[in-house]
Amino acid sequence: MQPQINEVEIVNYYDNCQIDYEIVWHLNTHMCMHYGYWDSNTKNLRAALNNMNVQVAKLVNPMPDMHVLDAGCGVGGSSVFLAKNFGCKTTGITLSDKQVQTCFSNAIKCGVAHLSHFEKQNYLNTHFADNTFDVVWAIESVCYAFDKADFIKEAYRILKPGGKLVVADFFNYKVQPNTRQHLLMQKWTSTWAIKQYADVDEFYKKLSNCGFVNCTQKDVTAQVIKSIKRLYYSFFPGLPITYISQWLGFRNRTQTANTWSTYYQYKAYKQNLWRYMFYTGTKPKNN
């Protein structure tokens, strides 16, 4: 069976909702389409967005001679971060032609075009040869795969022996099917063109089942709480504005749904239905 991902819906979401990230999430300056990571030294959202990249990088110890695949690269923020701060060669892939163009522009603007390359590709079925990358990096992108094992298998194939997979994403936590809690999670994921999140423990098991060793998982939900709340607080002024704008023809249903995502993610968090997790896995050297 072919690995599944709802490409059309994903591209529609990101191409239409990029403006929201620009308004609320400093996209034009910080190029991050992910939650911010807050610790005792984090003073504002801009710092938190950069800090998420810093914390994920600590898990893979990037070096100048490494080739990193940024799987689901958005507008290229993590790729630029790795190239600029560690001298890594980076390849970013996304389903959106618009994002590919923005990625190249961002790399040029930040002076790392010689280290960064971007392509339109599906991370479940890439064109890369076996054993190509030292690191596969995925921040808030694995959630789009229907079966997360499809992503893990492809990451395993294209990693070099000894290479490392690192994932930062949202995961279900003890959500039972056909319950009100499950319905709430579906309301949230549908606003982001996601079918469903993987279960916390299920994803961890799939890493080893697909061949990865020395796997780790870390719950960092406490470090993204301020991001959760910041989005929630933006919902109340944003909702009337988005409906009026839609009525006037300046916004569309996809963008209005994105406004509702800020409400659902908070309500699901308050009911303890999800976790923000870091995972790593290493491809055996004797593979």
DSSP string, 235-272: HHHHHHHHHHHHHHTSS-HHHHHHHHHHHHHHHHHHTT
Q: Using an 8 Å Cβ cutoff, are 165 and 194 in contact? A: no
Question: Where do the structural domains in the chain lie, given as residue ranges?
Answer: 7-172+195-221+275-282
Residue 141 CA to residue 139 CA, distance in Å, equals 6
What is the rounded CA–CA span in Å between residue 264 and residue 47? 25
How far apart CA 280 and CA 152 sit, in angstroms, is 11
Give the pLDDT of residue 102: 98
Find out whether 68 and 85 touch, Cβ atoms under 8 Å.
Answer: no
**Element housing 282 (H / E):** strand 274-282
Q: For the whole model, what pTM was predicted?
A: 0.97
CA distance 140 to 169: 5
State how beta strands 213-219 and 274-282 pair.
Answer: antiparallel
Token pair for residue 101? 């163009």
Residues 26-62: tens digit of each pLDDT = 999 999 999 999 999 999 999 999 999 999 999 999 9
Residue 253 tokens read as: 């249903």
Are 276 and 198 in contact, with CB atoms under 8 Å apart?
A: no
The pLDDT of residue 3: 84
Return the amino acid letter for 269.
Answer: Y
Architecture of domain 7-172+195-221+275-282: 3-Layer(aba) Sandwich (3.40)
CB neighbours of residue 137 within 10 Å: 31
Calpha distance 247→242 (Å, rounded): 9
Q: How far is CA 248 from CA 60, 243, 252, 254, 256, in A?
A: 48, 9, 10, 15, 13
Contact predicate 172/199, CB 8 Å: yes
Do residues 148 and 203 touch, judged by C-beta distance below 8 A? yes
Q: Which residues of the chain carry a pLDDT beneath 70? A: 1-2, 287
Q: Take residue 1 and report the two structure tokens written for it.
A: 């069976």
